[in-house]
Structure 1
Amino acid sequence: MSIAWLCERMGQWANHPAIVWNDHPYTYHDLLARMQVWNATLNEHDIGPGQVVTIEGDYSPNAVSLLLTLIERSTIVVPLTHSVAAQREEFLTIAEVQVVVSFDDDDRWHIERRPVQVTNPLTHQLIERGHPGLVLFSSGSTGKSKAALHDFLPLLEKFQVPRHRRVTLTFLLLDHIGGINTLFYTLANGGTVVAVQSRDPDVVCRTIETHRVQTLPTSPTFLNLLLISEAYQRYNLSSLELITYGTEVMPESTLHRIHDIFPNVQLLQTYGLSELGILRSKSRDSNSLWFKVGGEGFETKIVDGVLWVRAKSAMLGYLNAPSPFDEEGWMNTQDVVEVDGDYIRILGRRSDIINVGGQKVYPAEVESVLLQIPNVKDVAVVGERNSITGQIVTARFNLFEPEDPNEFKRRVRAFCRGRLAPYKIPVKISITEYEQHSARFKKVRKPL
Structure 2
Amino acid sequence: MMIDFFMECLQASPEHEAVVSSEFSVTFAGLTRLISTYEEWLDNHRIAEGSVVSFSGDYSPGAIALFMALAKKRCIVIPLSQDSQKQFSEFRDIGETEYDVAVNDETLELTVTGRTAGHPIYAQLREARQPGLVLFSSGSTGKSKAIVQNLEKLMLKFRQPRKAMRMLIFLQLDHIGGVNSLLYSLANKGTTIVSDARTPDKVCQAVEQFRAEVLPTSPTFLNLLLLSKAYERFDLSSLKLITYGTEPMQESTLVKLGEVLPGATLQQTYGLSEVGILRSKSRSSNSIWMKVGGDEFKTKIVDGTLRIKAESGMLGYLNAPSPFDGDGYLDTGDLVEQDGEWIRILGRASEIINVGGLKVFPAEVESVLLDIPGVNDVVVYGIDHPITGKVVCAKFELAEVIALRELKKRVFQHCKDKLAPYKVPGKIIITDEPTFNQRFKRMRREKV
TM range (shorter): over 0.9
C-alpha distance in 1 between matches for 2:203 and 2:381? 30
The equivalent residue for 1:86 is 86
Tell me if 1:204 matches 2:203. yes
Q: Deviations over 1:331-377 (max 9, x none)?
A: 00010001011100000000111111111100000000000000001
Question: In structure 2, the residue corresponding to 1:272 is in which secondary structure?
Answer: strand
Counterpart for residue 439 of structure 2: 440
Whether 1:386 aligns to 2:385 is yes
Match of 1:15 in 2: 15
**Identity score, percent:** 51
The answer to whether the 8 Å contact 1:2/1:72 transfers is no
**Alpha-carbon distance between aligned partners in 2 of 1:384 and 1:404, rounded to the nearest angstrom:** 22
Cα displacement (A) at 1:170: 0.7
Task: Give the deviation of 1:55 after TM superposition.
Answer: 1.5
**SS across alignment from 2:321:** coil
Partners of 2:107 and 2:195 lie apart in 1 by: 18
Partner of 1:312: 311
1:386, CA displacement in angstroms? 1.2
Matches within 5 A, 1:13-412: 13-104=13-104, 106-412=105-411
- Which amino acid in 2 is paired with 1:272? G
Shift of 1:23: 4.2
Structure 1: state its 5+ residue gaps. Answer: none
Cα RMSD, aligned residues only: 0.9
Partner of 1:426: 425
CA contact (8 A) 1:118 1:124 kept: no
C-alpha distance in structure 1 between counterparts of 2:256 and 2:106, whole Å: 38
Q: Which amino acid aligns with 2:380?
A: V
Shift of 1:263: 1.4
Residue identity opposite 1:53 in structure 2: V
Alpha-carbon distance in structure 1 between the residues aligned to 2:64 and 2:103: 11
Q: Is the partner of 1:282 in helix, strand or coil?
A: strand
Deviation at 1:107, TM superposition (A): 3.9
Amino acid paired to 2:240: E
Code of the residue aligned with 1:110 in structure 2: it is: E
Please state whether the residue corresponding to 2:66 is helix, strand or coil: helix
- Give the counterpart letter for 1:80 in structure 2: L
Q: Secondary structure, in 3 states, of the residue corresponding to 1:35?
A: helix
Q: What SS does the corresponding residue of 2:118 show, helix, strand or coil?
A: coil
> TM-score when scaled to structure 1?
0.99
Where 1:308 maps in the other structure, the secondary structure is strand
CA distance in structure 1 between the aligned counterparts of 2:103 and 2:23, rounded to whole angstroms: 18
Aligned partners of 1:213, 1:306: CA distance in 2, in Å?
A: 36
Distance 2:6 2:81 in 1: 25
Following TM superposition, by how much is the alpha carbon of 1:109 offset from its aligned partner in structure 2, in angstroms? 2.3
Task: Compare 222-231 and 4-13 and name the one that shifted more.
Answer: 4-13
Counterpart code for 1:260:
E
AA matched with 1:48: A
Query: How far did 1:111 drift?
Result: 1.1
Superposition deviation, residue 108 in structure 1:
2.8
Asked whether the equivalents of residues 246 and 271 of structure 1 are also in contact (C-alpha less than 8 Å), the reply is yes
**Contact 2:237–2:263 (Cα < 8 Å) also in 1:** no
Residue 413 of structure 1 pairs with residue 424 of structure 2 = no
Q: What is the rounded CA distance, in whole Å, between the counterparts of 2:411 and 2:220 in structure 1?
A: 21
Find the aligned partners of 2:160 and 2:124 in 1 and give their Cα distance.
Answer: 28
Shift in Å at residue 262 of structure 1?
Answer: 1.3
CA distance in 1, matches of 2:416, 2:2: 59
Identify which range, 357-366 or 18-27, moves more after superposition.
18-27
The answer to whether the Cα contact below 8 Å between 1:2 and 1:74 also exists between their aligned partners in 2 is no
The superposition leaves residues 60-84 of structure 1 with CA deviations (integer Å, 9 ceiling, x where unpaired) of 1111111111101100000001111
CA shift at 1:298, angstroms? Answer: 0.2
Deviation per CA, 1:158-212: give whole Å up to 9, x if none.
0010001000001011100000000000100000001122111000000000000
Matched residue of 1:197: which SS?
Answer: coil
Residue 152 of structure 1 deviates from its aligned partner by 0.5
In structure 2, give the amino acid aligned to 1:445: R
Does structure 2 retain, via aligned residues, the 8 Å contact 1:300–1:307? yes
The Cα of 1:302 is off from its aligned counterpart by: 0.5
Kept in 1, the 8 Å contact 2:21–2:206? The answer is no
User: Counterpart of 1:259 in structure 2: which amino acid?
Assistant: G
SS in structure 1 at match of 2:313: coil
Whichever residue aligns with residue 378 of structure 1, its letter is D
Q: What displacement does 1:128 show?
A: 1.2
C-alpha distance in 2 between matches for 1:397 and 1:108:
43
**Is residue 146–residue 319 contact of structure 2 (8 Å, CA) maintained in 1?**
yes
Contact 2:2 2:156 in 1 (8 A): no
